[in-house]
Chain A
C-alpha cells in the first residue's frame, strides 16, 4: 500500500540553525500539507501546497518557514532560523483531492536546543 514517507525521523539542531524536513508524498497525490504537533497537544495545520504554490497557510507559518517541491517526488519544509518553540513533531500529509482524506507520514521529531 502506498504511504507518505518522511526523513529524518529525528532531527536535533541548535537554536538559530536552519533545518530542512523532507517528505515523499504518495505518488499520484496532488495536494500536500505540513502539520505540526507539540508534545501532548493537538495536531496543528501549517501550510497547504498545490500546483507548485502555497494555497493556504496558518499564522504559525511565518517568514521563517518555507516549502518547496524541488522535483516530482519530494516536498520539503525549511525553517530558516529555528527557535526553541519550534520543537515538535512535524507531519507531512498528502491527498489526491482538495476535499477529503489526507494521508499522513510518520513524522519528523524536531528538537531545538
Chain B
C-alpha cells in the first residue's frame, strides 16, 4: 500500500531563515502531491501542489521539489516568519483518484 512519510517530526528554524521540509512516498502510481499547513485547532490549509509531470513549482515564498526517481518531495519556505509556525503535511493522490494519503506531519517552530 501507500506510505507517505516525513523525515523529521520537528523543525526549529530562526525567523528569516529558509526552511526545508522533506517527504517520501512509496507508491510510484502517486501522481499528484499537496503540501498542507495545519495550525493548532484548525483544518489543513492548502499551500502548494505539484503533479508528477513536473519537478518544481513555485508559489509565494514556497517552492515544492519533486524527485520521482527516489520518490521524494520537499517544501522550501523562504524567509520563514512566525506565522509559518504550524504542522506541515505532505499528501499524495494515486492515479488522479480522489483520496489523499497523508504523511505524519512536521512541526515547524519559528524562533525569533
Residue numbers of A with Cβ under 8 A of B are: 4, 31, 33, 35, 41-45, 48, 50, 55-56, 58, 91, 98-107
The residue in chain A whose Cβ has the minimal distance to the Cβ of B101 is A45
The yes or no answer to B25 lying at the interface (CB within 8 A) is no
Residues in A with CB closer than 8 Å to B96 are: 98-100
B contacts, CB < 8 Å to A: 32, 34, 36, 41-46, 49, 89, 91, 93, 96-105
Are A42 and B102 in touch, CB under 8 angstroms? yes
Which among A33, A41, A101, A106 is the interface contact of B99 at CB below 8 angstroms? A33
Highest count of chain A CB atoms <10 Å: which of B36, B100, B103: B100
Q: How near does chain B come to A102, taking the closest CB pair, in angstroms? A: 6
Check A31 against B98 for contact (C-beta < 8 Å): yes
Check A100–B32 contact: CB distance below 8 A.
yes
Is A91 within 8 A of B93, CB to CB?
A: no
Given A91-B43, A104-B43, A105-B43, also A45-B93 (CB < 8 A): no
Instruction: Tell me how far the C-beta of A104 lies from the nearest C-beta in chain B, rounded to whole angstroms.
Output: 4
- Contact of B98 (CB < 8 Å), options: A55, A91, A103, A105: A55
Complex contacts, B100 vs chain A, CB 8 Å: 33, 35, 43, 45, 102
Q: Taking the nearest CB of chain A, how far is it from the CB of B21, in angstroms?
A: 14
Taken together as a complex, chains A and B put the C-alpha atoms of A4 and B45 apart, in Å, by 11
Cβ B44 vs Cβ A43 within 8 A? yes
Q: Are B101 and A91 in contact (CB under 8 A)?
A: no
Q: Please, which residue of chain A has its CB at the minimum distance from the CB of B42?
A: A106
CB-CB nearest in chain B for A41: B104
Q: A42-B105, A43-B89 are in contact. Are A56 and B45 (CB under 8 A)?
A: no
Q: How far apart sit A82 and B103, CA to CA, in the bound complex (Å)?
A: 26
Cα A52 to Cα B11 with chains together (Å): 42
Q: Is the CB of B104 within 8 A of A42?
A: yes
